[in-house]
Structure 1
Amino acid sequence: MATITTKLTRLLGIRTPLVVPPMAGVSGGALAAQVSSVGAFGFVAAGYDTVETLKSQISLAQSILESHKLNKSLFGVGFLAWQLDQRKKEEAEELVTIALQENVKAVWFAFGNDLQRWIKFVREYDDRHGKAEKTLAFVQVSTLEEARVATEEWKVDVLVVQGIESGGHGSRHSPPLLTFLPSVLSLPFLSPDCADAIPVLAAGGLATGAHIASMLTLGASGAVLGTRFLLSPESLYNDVQKKALSEANETSTVRTVAFDTVRGTLGWPEGIDGRALSNDTVKDFDQGVPVKELQDKFKEAVKNGDHSRILTWAGTGVGLMKEIKSAADIVQELHADCGSRLKAAASYV
């Protein structure tokens, strides 16, 4: 299939303007590499992982890409900046350095109160080591001001605009994507008409190739799809979670802090919560059931594989996906669908 040419595909050397983001507990080396092996771009999530786990997942991604006779650096690593900030300085810097030492093509930073620190760390590492090709810095934003700062002050390479429809964590104050993306693209230095503008990616509730095409027509250089790839063998989600996703509909998700509370994954910046499939954990949390009771029930549910209480992150587009397919097949399906919708749109003028 022909390349769909955008600023993103030219920058990354890929043919599909699609990025599969770093999703903690989901995006391992297998998912990232299989996505990249067929022309999109995948990220390994560092998440809450140890140094050893991250090394293992990077090595897995590299081995898969090499087996396809591709550049073993054709993937990225994503970091939760607030998690880096909570670690000891040496440990946090070691995690980021691991990715840089392995020459991954890109790093992704989100959800921190000092993202600039980590952008600077990456730039200084590249300069010290005389890297011929700099590490690309992706930054995820939730407001127009964040978009301005990331672009004008931090000089990021790719901007990810996340609408409130996104699965997993995001700002509860984010606008809907169809409002937020055009607002960001109206900034003169990010306008599609600006030759020097960096790629802007759209994220939030996207599930189909037609969705990707619609984002391109709005002026984005690509799209970020996460939930769709949870329903793949390469996803680290278990069978219970995948079954719940396949049975979900357009009303199944809810924004909540219930799961972070019961899991003890607290420390997110102000205003951040998560979108997941609603279940009894959320209902009980909203009704004021004591946290200790919720935690006990949650642990038991995890042990027994009971989805009435366990966590399954998902975006609003979850009702549009029903099948478990390989990550490679999903990319190819999305590419073909996007291409056909772009051609159809061109026929209108």
Structure 2
Amino acid sequence: MSFNTQLTRLLGIRTPVILPPMAFAAGALLASQVHMAGGFGFLSPTYSGTDAFEREFALARMLLGQPTGALPLGAGFLGWKLDADPAHAALLDVALAHGVRCVWLSFGADLTRWVERVRAHDSTTLVAIQVNSAAEALHAARTWKADIIVAQGIEAGGHGAASAPPLLNLLPQVLRALTVLPAPPPVLAAGGLTSGAHLAAVLALGASGGVFGTRFLATPAALYTPAQKAALLAAPAGAAVRSRAFDALRGTLGWPAGVDGRALAMPAAEAYDGGAPLEDARRVLEDGVRTGDPRAQIVWAGTGVGEVTELQPAKDIVRELHDDAAAHLRASYALLQE
């Protein structure tokens, strides 16, 4: 059985399960495995230069058996990084040269320049725009003619707008806003999704697919370290919190206003949020690293982290999400007929 949504038709995939571009986590191996299982995977740049990114694409070509031509994978880029760093813009050019199927853009004050760069390179390359409000979604669809809208709720791991509503509020808002268009693009739901039941729920609400970030971090193919994966698997429900402390500790402060991150709670972040000077919070982090405290590491994760309890191959995750979502949708349909 295959799903039939606007997204699956657009991308030619069997299952509306999307691996997002997660820095230092989603590389060629994971993206390729998701693709081969029937979903769609995005690579994230390694931030180690164009040579390292070229090696990722070489690995993808080897895994997929496609030495030349376009690749059935995507790549994601941060707008503010593209604006600030020519080296990051060069990574976008690498992805375009390899013929990625879709470019995912997010967190830019004005993404026009980068959307136009993608369009100018190849009119067949799709553009996905991540948004945190209905107004942003309508702007992306009208102004940039986005091929895919990614509606990211406050539950998402990693970075997002602190003002974003919960996904179950945001998704209907975005879908309703887009109805004014003659041909609305497909909408992906992102934020806290971990199960087939979640996928079935967002499809029932009108999404064309679901984005599963945290779930795919707990795979052998993810680039997270063994310690980060162990922390994810051990984390209870409620362990992922939003804060600007994580970026303050890392020194990554170029994010647009209003953007913060969600990661596993850690003593250093708690100290910073409690009013400790940054130097003191970093000292807490250094002390934790020195003593081997597993909480002395930044582990990005969404609110569904407590439901991710085992390390699984990516293909098994895609198959499980597909089968469980199908079963839930069949059950819902049967209930409607009673």
Q: Sort the TM-score into its range (normalised by shorter chain).
A: over 0.9
Alignment of 1:122-133 (within 5 A): 122-126=118-122
> Which of residues 191, 201, 215 is equivalent to 1:228?
215
Give the structure 2 partner of residue 203 of structure 1.
Answer: 190
Rounded to whole Å, the distance in 1 between the matches of 2:316 and 2:255 is 34
> Do residues 162 (structure 1) and 161 (structure 2) align?
no
Give the structure 1 partner of residue 74 of structure 2.
Answer: 76
Give the structure 1 partner of residue 165 of structure 2.
Answer: 175
TM-score normalised by the chain length of structure 2: 0.94
> Do residues 58 (structure 1) and 57 (structure 2) align?
yes
Q: CA deviation at 1:8?
A: 0.5
Q: CA deviation at 1:292?
A: 2.2
Give the structure 2 partner of residue 145 of structure 1.
Answer: 135
**Do the aligned residues in 2 keep the contact of 1:41 with 1:75 (CA within 8 Å)?**
yes
> Do residues 98 (structure 1) and 94 (structure 2) align?
yes
Could you give the per-residue CA deviations for residues 138-180 of structure 1, whole angstroms, max 9, x where no partner exists? 1100111110110011101000000000000000000000001
**Do the aligned residues in 2 keep the contact of 1:63 with 1:72 (CA within 8 Å)?**
no
- SS of match in other structure, 1:212: helix
**Do the aligned residues in 2 keep the contact of 1:23 with 1:47 (CA within 8 Å)?**
no
> Which of residues 90, 110, 113 is equivalent to 1:114?
110
- SS of match in other structure, 1:340: helix
Q: CA deviation at 1:302?
A: 5.0
Rounded to whole Å, the distance in 2 between the matches of 1:293 and 1:330 is 41
Rounded to whole Å, the distance in 1 between the matches of 2:205 and 2:302 is 21
Q: CA deviation at 1:346?
A: 0.9
Q: CA deviation at 1:21?
A: 0.1
- SS of match in other structure, 1:186: helix
Give the structure 2 partner of residue 291 of structure 1.
Answer: 278
- Unmatched tracts of structure 2, length 5 or more: none
Give the structure 1 partner of residue 234 of structure 2.
Answer: 247
- SS of match in other structure, 2:184: coil
Seen in structure 2, the aligned counterparts of structure 1 residues 232 and 303 have a Cα distance that, compared at 3 Å, is: farther
Rounded to whole Å, the distance in 1 between the matches of 2:290 and 2:10 is 44
Seen in structure 2, the aligned counterparts of structure 1 residues 304 and 273 have a Cα distance that, compared at 3 Å, is: same
> Cα RMSD between the aligned structures?
1.9
Could you give the per-residue CA deviations for residues 200-246 of structure 1, whole angstroms, max 9, x where no partner exists? 00000000011001000000000101000110001111121111111
> Do residues 212 (structure 1) and 199 (structure 2) align?
yes
Q: CA deviation at 1:314?
A: 0.6
Q: CA deviation at 1:189?
A: 3.3
Seen in structure 2, the aligned counterparts of structure 1 residues 92 and 278 have a Cα distance that, compared at 3 Å, is: closer
Opposite residue 83 of structure 2, the aligned amino acid is D
**Do the aligned residues in 1 keep the contact of 2:69 with 2:99 (CA within 8 Å)?**
no
Q: CA deviation at 1:94?
A: 2.0
Seen in structure 2, the aligned counterparts of structure 1 residues 224 and 11 have a Cα distance that, compared at 3 Å, is: same
Q: CA deviation at 1:190?
A: 6.9
* Percent identity (aligned): 45
Q: CA deviation at 1:289?
A: 2.4
Could you give the per-residue CA deviations for residues 15-69 of structure 1, whole angstroms, max 9, x where no partner exists? 00011100011111111111011100001012634212211112212211118x9
**Do the aligned residues in 1 keep the contact of 2:192 with 2:304 (CA within 8 Å)?**
yes
- SS of match in other structure, 1:223: strand
Alignment of 1:13-32 (within 5 A): 13-32=12-31
Rounded to whole Å, the distance in 1 between the matches of 2:25 and 2:283 is 24
Aligned residues: 336
- SS of match in other structure, 2:23: coil
**Do the aligned residues in 1 keep the contact of 2:215 with 2:308 (CA within 8 Å)?**
yes
- SS of match in other structure, 2:145: coil
Seen in structure 2, the aligned counterparts of structure 1 residues 47 and 154 have a Cα distance that, compared at 3 Å, is: farther
Give the structure 1 partner of residue 10 of structure 2.
Answer: 11
Opposite residue 204 of structure 2, the aligned amino acid is T
Between stretches 76-85 and 51-60, larger displacement belongs to 51-60
**Do the aligned residues in 2 keep the contact of 1:47 with 1:78 (CA within 8 Å)?**
no
Opposite residue 43 of structure 1, the aligned amino acid is F
Give the structure 1 partner of residue 45 of structure 2.
Answer: 46
- SS of match in other structure, 1:114: coil
- SS of match in other structure, 1:151: helix
Rounded to whole Å, the distance in 1 between the matches of 2:168 and 2:34 is 26
Q: CA deviation at 1:297?
A: 4.1
Give the structure 2 partner of residue 328 of structure 1.
Answer: 315
> Which of residues 172, 177, 191 is equivalent to 1:187?
177
Give the structure 2 partner of residue 131 of structure 1.
Answer: none
